[in-house]
Structure 1
Amino acid sequence: MSASQPVTGAPWRRIVPTLVLATAAGWLAEHLNLPLPWMIGPLFAVAGARMADIELRPLPGGRQSGQWAIGAALGLYFSPEVVAQLSLHAPLVVAAALGSLVLGMGYALIMLRLARVDTPTAFFAALPGGASEMANLADRYGGAVDRIAAAHAVRVMMVVSVLPFALSFAGVHGSDLYIPLSKEVEPQHFPLLMASSLLGVGAFKLLRIANAWVLGPLLGVAIATLAGLPLSALPVWVVNGGQLLIGCALGCRFSRAFFRAAPRFMAVAALTAALSIVLAFAFAALLTLATDVPLPTLALATAPGGVSEMCITAKVLQLGVPLVTVCHVLRVAVLTVGAQWSFGLFKRFVAA
């Protein structure tokens, strides 16, 4: 074969070892009784291999497939009774979303002072919203998109690594009273689950709404559940596989060059991520004074992690799945919509 000919099998020589390593790590993590074994195991194993300069690559479309599985599984929780109960917590949900915006501006100030970057980069790297949404907004204002994406990758990895272990160590597993309306895998009803979830994805894609692969299935299946349609539960291996694919996608973002490119910036990004975990927990403790929701559930609801990662954490640990889901969906919406307005305030504050 000449050097000019493409080697079509080359990507799979990196994808297959990634999946094998991730599967072995997930199996080992499950047997060690680690929290979220099928996400955390692959995440650490793949990230560690990448830091050792081993060329790995995630499955194309794997993260979206994983998000679909998680979104569809979460939608099964939204029965009419659950939605009626969630309406009682509307002030709590709004407070959690607005609180994340205020805290994010504080993290941005720390990032600006310590990382020595420009204002757009500091602001959109620190705001705990979706990585792609923050990067796209930063691009309009001249921010460093690559550094912003890196900062969000570090934040999500730290939250996913710390929070499940902390909650499991505290012994809070299994305190959720919510259960999915469809608990059994019923093959005859599976096509309806697929159709409702994919219709949700299509609607979000058509409207160009972010996080379509997790929020679309969630909304589609939730509407079908509210309508009383007979749906099947997802097999356990599908949900575990979704976690594995998300763990692979997150782990493959890391490498030695990832941290060598801007060591000071990455160190400050890790510092602000750690601070965001601590302050979010303090904010959750404050919210417990005004509500009867348990602190572990509020800790997940206010955590500065990704939507899919935090919601699957709530599902696995059985901690207020619908409430945590709604809080994170609204958080991303508020941060995405309010980022431009709050950036103007932030610039004026910095100038002053």
Structure 2
Amino acid sequence: MTRSLLLRRCMTVLISAAGVAIFLLLDLPLPFLFGPMAASLVIALCGAPLAGLGQVSIAARSVLGVAIGTSVTPALVAELPSMLASVALVPLYIVVIGLIGVPFFRKVCGFDLVTAFYAAMPGGAADMTIFGQEAGANVRQLSLVHVTRLMVIMVVAPIILVNVYGVGLTHPIGPPASDLPVWELVIMAVAAIVGWKGGERIGLFGAAILGPLLVSAILSLAGILHLRPPREALLAAQFLIGMGIGVSYVGVTLRELRNTVAGGAAFVVILAALAGAVTEFVTLTGLAPPVEGFLSFIPGGQAEMSMLALVSGADLSFVVVHHLTRILVVILGAPVLFRLLRRAQPPD
């Protein structure tokens, strides 16, 4: 690591910490998540050369993976069949998003077909950017749209949870570290590292979350793990995830802000309306409670939505099952669907 990079990272952490302090002082919600995100976002847009923490930031997602995995219990497994009806709506929901999103990005934002298609797909930001790059998309536009989707949803979703569904965001996210047995903390750490790095070795998508999730779920079902990671670890994960979103806007120009970022933000409004409609449907049909339905179908980042499920007291496993289904369907289906779409296009 160069001295310059070290200084940039230290500056980023200090700015993000200041964001936490401001949010705490003003008694704003989720200070460890929104404080770093807001502070680093504003400073990044001002042109400061901020830098993320690389592997440390990725490791934060492994904490969430363990938190999700430890919620997988025999009782949850017994409930999985009851989720099938709402999970079956996910592929249809993705198709509707694509049918609206592709024309939106082509006609409103002026994207080419490849970029518009992968910008509209509600998959993982990294996966969609990689797929789009391989297909010849404008990578800069694509990455900005998906980062904006994650960021705006992270702002909009809590507002909807509080003001529409009347949910408080103060649910305890985990016990303090002092209340957990040392041996269980060690096992959690091992599960996080083995799951993350093992997942990377076998090419698992979203390895930083899914690897620890799978390992800790097995340990939970085996009766070895009984508690979530400590509160301190989950707050640190919030801090790093929020900071990472803000830092993604380093180097964004005014033109990109006006065109690409604004277009991505406008698309999120459409996504929020769609999520609201689907939530109403699954609620009225008894397929899901309102909060779980909303968090399951709002197409934000898997890590971010898991964190919102934790702080809102929603059924974490229900939410995660739906988001995993969405990500899996998009990753497997998007490249195939795009090839079919391209073949259907008339030749120039």
1:332 match: 327
State the number of aligned residues: 344
State the distance in 2 between where 1:16 and 1:175 align.
Answer: 29
1:289-337 Cα distance to aligned partner (Å, 9 max, x none): 2225211211110011010001111011111211001111111010010
The aligned runs of 1:190-339 (5 Å cut-off) are 190-231=185-226, 233-255=228-250, 257-261=252-256, 263-339=258-334
State the shift of 1:33 in Å.
4.0
Question: What residue identity is the alignment partner of 2:168?
Answer: H
State the shift of 1:74 in Å.
1.7
State the shift of 1:115 in Å.
1.6
1:79 match: 73
Q: Does 1:138 align with 2:137?
A: no
State the distance in 1 between where 2:300 and 2:43 align.
Answer: 23
Judging changes above 3 Å, is the alpha-carbon distance between structure 1 residues 32 and 219 closer, same or farther for their aligned structure 2 residues?
farther
2:146 match: 152
Contact 2:204 2:211 in 1 (8 A): no
Identity of aligned residues (%): 27
| Of 5, 9, 31, the match for 1:15 | 9
1:56-103 Cα distance to aligned partner (Å, 9 max, x none): 212222321211111111211111101211321112123134412431
Judging changes above 3 Å, is the alpha-carbon distance between structure 1 residues 63 and 48 closer, same or farther for their aligned structure 2 residues?
same
Contact 2:63 2:192 in 1 (8 A): no
Contact 1:105 1:346 in 2 (8 A): no
| Of 44, 50, 53, the match for 1:59 | 53
State the distance in 1 between where 2:242 and 2:5 align.
Answer: 19
State the distance in 2 between where 1:252 and 1:308 align.
Answer: 17
State the distance in 2 between where 1:166 and 1:31 align.
Answer: 23
Question: What residue identity is the alignment partner of 1:62?
Answer: V
Question: What residue identity is the alignment partner of 2:127?
Answer: E
1:110 match: 104
Secondary structure of 1:57's match? coil
State the distance in 1 between where 2:313 and 2:323 align.
Answer: 16
Judging changes above 3 Å, is the alpha-carbon distance between structure 1 residues 311 and 97 closer, same or farther for their aligned structure 2 residues?
farther
Secondary structure of 2:252's match? helix
Contact 2:195 2:213 in 1 (8 A): yes
2:155 match: 161
Deviates more, 1:110-119 or 1:243-252: 110-119
Deviates more, 1:45-54 or 1:259-268: 259-268
Contact 2:152 2:268 in 1 (8 A): yes
Deviates more, 1:303-312 or 1:85-94: 85-94
2:181 match: 186
State the distance in 1 between where 2:44 and 2:18 align.
Answer: 16
